[in-house]
């Protein structure tokens, strides 16, 4: 990535951000089988939390950190691979949001 300054109208920013959210939502829907076992959409995150000895939310943040690490690789250019990692991060953060909401509903 270079250091060029970018400009964009608010409308275009909102349109592109909406597209990113839509792509992340599609990814979440299509990949949910990877996260779920026995009807629990959070199974893999619960399993990881047990291995790591941390909360489920912190385990999920480990998945986010892995995706962020990909963004810093020198060979990563602004292309579909980069956008794929970004939509993974958005999807993981949406799952984190859902976890927090679920905990709040139970309190």
Q: Which of 78, 80, 85, 37 is nearest to 63 (CA)?
A: 85
pLDDT tens for each residue of 28-79: 888 887 777 888 999 989 999 999 999 999 999 999 999 999 888 777 666 7
Q: What is the mean pLDDT of the chain?
A: 88
Number of residues that make up the chain:
107
- 78 versus 23: the higher-pLDDT residue is 23
pLDDT at 94 > cutoff 80? yes
pTM of the complete model: 0.82
Helix (H), strand (E) at residue 102: helix 80-106
- 98 versus 75: the higher-pLDDT residue is 98
């Amino acid at each position: 990535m270079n250091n060029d300054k970018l400009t964009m109208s608010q409308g275009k920013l909102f349109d592109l951000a909406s597209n990113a959210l839509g792509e992340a939502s599609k990814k979440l829907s299509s990949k949910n089988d990877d996260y779920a076992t026995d009807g629990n959409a959070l199974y893999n995150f619960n399993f990881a939390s047990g291995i790591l000895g941390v909360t489920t939310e912190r385990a999920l943040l480990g998945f986010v950190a892995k995706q962020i690490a990909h963004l810093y690789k020198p060979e990563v250019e602004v292309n579909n691979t980069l956008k794929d990692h970004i939509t993974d991060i958005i999807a993981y953060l949406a799952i984190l949001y859902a976890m927090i909401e679920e905990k709040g509903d139970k309190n």
